[in-house]
C-alpha cells in the first residue's frame, strides 16, 4: 500500500459516522493525578490494568473509531497478553500515538508556552508505526488574557504544528493537529472567539506553507467557550460561536474536526457537541476526541479494583454511546439517566 493509500484509509476509518476518538494518551504525571482522584496509586501495573479494561470494553468500536495512546501503552500487553494495538484493531479501532514531548515557556514571550518534540520525530514515528500506530497527535496550547496569546506565540506554535504534520504525512501517518485555546480564566466567549479565529488562521497558513495535505489530516481544536471563571454559556451559544469562527478559519477540505473537551464536564462536552451537530450542515464531520470527558466516570467506577471491571466498562460505553449520538445531533440530556 502506498503512503497516499495509507493516509486515505486511516482518514476514512477515523471519520466513520457515529464514532469519535478516545484520548487515552495521558502522560505519566497526568494519569497519576487522575488516579489519585479515585484513590489509586499510579504504577505500570495499575495503568496497564485500567487501560486494558477500557480498551476491551465490548462494543467499544461501535462508537469509537480511534484511540490515542501514550508511548508506554503502545508497547504494553493487555491482561490477556494481547498487544494493546492488536486489542484495539480487534474492535475495529485505529491505534494512534501522542508524539509531542510536552510544553514549556516560550522564550521572550512571558506567559506563553511552546511544545517540544520535533527533534528525532521521524525515528520515533518509524518505531511507533512498526508497533501499529496509524495516526499521531501533537498538542500546542494558547493561554488567554488581555494580552495573551502574543503574536509570537501564535506564529511559533503554528509553525511547530505544521512541521510535525508534514513529517507525519511523509511517513504515512495521519496527523491530528491540536491547537488548544485554554478555558482557564475569566474571559468572555467573544474574547475566546477572537483568539480562536486568530490561532486557526495562522495554523492553516503554516500548514499551507509546509504543503500539508488538508484532506489527510484531522483537526482537534477547542470549542469556543467562555473561561471557567466567566458566565457559563448555553450549548446553543457555544455551537453558534464555534461554527461562526470555524466557517471563517477552517478550509472545507479538512475531513474531520474532532473537538477536545478542554475542562468541560462529561455532560457539557456531550451537550455542546450535540448542539453543534443540530445546526445547519457543516462542511466537515464534527466529532469528539475526548479524554477526561469519556474516562472520568469509568475511572470512578474502577477505583483500582479489578472486580469493578463490569461497572468500569459500562460507564465508558455509556459515555461513548452518548457522544456517538451527539455526533449526529441525536443526543438528549434525559439519556443521562438511562442505564
Q: Structural domain tally of the chain?
A: 1
State the Cα–Cα distance between residues 247 and 249, nearest whole angstrom.
6
State the Cα–Cα distance between residues 126 and 18, nearest whole angstrom.
31
Q: What is the CATH number of the domain that holds 44?
A: 3.20.20.70
All three cell numbers of 61:
468500536
Q: Which of 178, 173, 184, 183 lies closest to 139, judged by CA?
A: 178
* pLDDT confidence of residue 205: 98
Residue 33 host element (H or E): helix 28-37
* pLDDT confidence of residue 280: 82
**Environment class of residue 302 by beta-carbon count within 10 Å: exposed (0-12), middle (13-18) or buried (19+)?**
buried
The whole domain housing 82 covers: 3-337
* pLDDT confidence of residue 338: 63
Provide the residue-wise pLDDT of the chain in tens; the chain has 339 residues.
Answer: 899 999 999 999 999 999 999 999 999 999 999 999 999 999 999 999 999 999 999 999 999 999 999 999 999 999 999 999 999 999 999 999 999 999 999 999 999 999 999 999 999 999 999 999 999 999 999 999 999 999 999 999 999 999 999 999 999 999 999 999 999 999 999 999 999 999 999 999 999 999 999 999 999 999 999 999 998 999 999 999 999 999 999 999 999 999 999 999 999 999 999 999 999 889 999 999 999 999 999 999 999 999 999 999 999 999 999 999 999 999 988 888 765
Catalytic site positions:
178, 220
State the Cα–Cα distance between residues 98 and 101, nearest whole angstrom.
9
State the Cα–Cα distance between residues 177 and 255, nearest whole angstrom.
13
pTM of the complete model beyond 0.75: yes
Q: Cell match 509531542: residue?
A: 100
State the Cα–Cα distance between residues 289 and 311, nearest whole angstrom.
22
* pLDDT confidence of residue 339: 53
**Environment class of residue 303 by beta-carbon count within 10 Å: exposed (0-12), middle (13-18) or buried (19+)?**
middle
State the Cα–Cα distance between residues 165 and 202, nearest whole angstrom.
15
Q: Which residues contact 339 (CB under 8 A, 6 or more apart)?
A: 314
All three cell numbers of 289:
476526541
Question: Sign of dihedral through CA atoms 304, 312, 258, 3?
Answer: positive
* pLDDT confidence of residue 334: 80
* pLDDT confidence of residue 333: 84
Q: Which of 168, 256, 163, 169 lies closest to 206, judged by CA?
A: 163
Whether the Cβ atoms of residue 83 and residue 51 lie closer than 8 Å to each other: no
All three cell numbers of 47:
495503568
Give the chain's end-to-end CA distance (angstroms, integer).
Answer: 43
Amino acid at each position: 500500500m502506498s503512503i497516499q493509500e495509507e493516509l486515505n484509509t486511516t482518514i476514512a476509518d477515523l471519520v466513520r459516522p457515529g464514532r469519535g476518538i478516545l484520548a487515552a494518551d495521558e502522560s505519566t504525571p497526568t494519569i497519576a493525578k487522575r488516579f489519585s482522584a479515585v484513590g489509586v496509586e499510579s504504577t505500570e501495573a495499575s495503568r496497564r490494568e485500567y487501560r486494558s479494561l477500557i480498551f476491551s470494553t465490548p462494543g467499544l468500536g461501535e462508537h469509537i473509531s480511534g484511540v490515542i495512546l501514550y508511548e508506554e501503552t503502545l508497547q504494553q500487553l493487555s491482561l490477556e497478553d494481547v498487544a494493546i494495538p492488536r486489542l484495539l484493531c480487534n474492535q475495529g479501532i485505529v491505534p494512534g500515538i501522542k508524539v509531542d514531548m510536552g510544553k514549556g515557556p516560550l522564550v521572550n514571550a512571558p506567559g506563553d508556552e511552546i511544545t517540544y518534540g520535533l527533534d528525532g520525530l521521524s525515528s520515533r514515528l518509524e518505531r511507533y508505526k512498526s508497533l501499529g500506530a496509524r495516526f499521531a497527535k501533537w498538542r500546542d496550547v494558547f493561554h488567554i488574557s488581555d494580552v495573551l496569546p502574543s503574536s509570537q506565540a501564535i506564529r511559533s506554535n503554528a509553525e511547530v504544528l505544521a512541521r510535525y504534520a508534514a513529517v507525519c504525512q511523509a511517513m504515512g501517518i495521519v496527523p491530528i493537529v491540536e491547537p488548544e485555546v485554554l478555558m482557564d480564566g475569566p474571559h468572555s466567549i467573544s474574547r475566546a472567539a477572537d483568539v480562536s479565529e486568530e490561532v486557526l488562521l495562522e495554523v492553516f497558513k503554516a500548514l499551507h506553507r509546509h504543503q500539508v495535505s488538508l484532506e489527510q489530516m484531522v483537526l482537534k481544536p477547542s470549542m469556543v467557550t467562555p473561561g471557567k471563571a466567566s458566565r457559563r454559556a448555553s450549548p446553543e451559544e457555544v455551537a453558534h460561536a464555534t461554527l461562526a469562527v470555524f466557517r471563517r478559519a477552517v478550509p472545507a477540505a479538512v475531513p474531520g474536526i474532532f473537538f477536545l473537551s478542554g475542562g468541560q464536564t462529561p455532560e457539557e462536552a456531550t451537550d455542546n457537541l450535540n448542539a453543534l451537530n443540530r445546526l445547519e450542515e457543516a462542511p466537515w464531520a464534527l466529532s469528539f476526541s475526548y479524554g477526561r470527558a469519556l474516562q472520568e466516570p469509568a475511572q470512578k467506577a474502577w477505583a483500582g479494583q479489578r472486580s469493578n471491571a463490569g461497572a468500569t466498562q459500562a460507564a465508558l460505553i455509556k459515555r461513548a454511546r452518548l457522544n456517538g449520538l451527539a455526533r449526529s445531533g441525536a443526543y438528549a440530556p434525559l439519556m443521562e439517566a438511562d442505564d
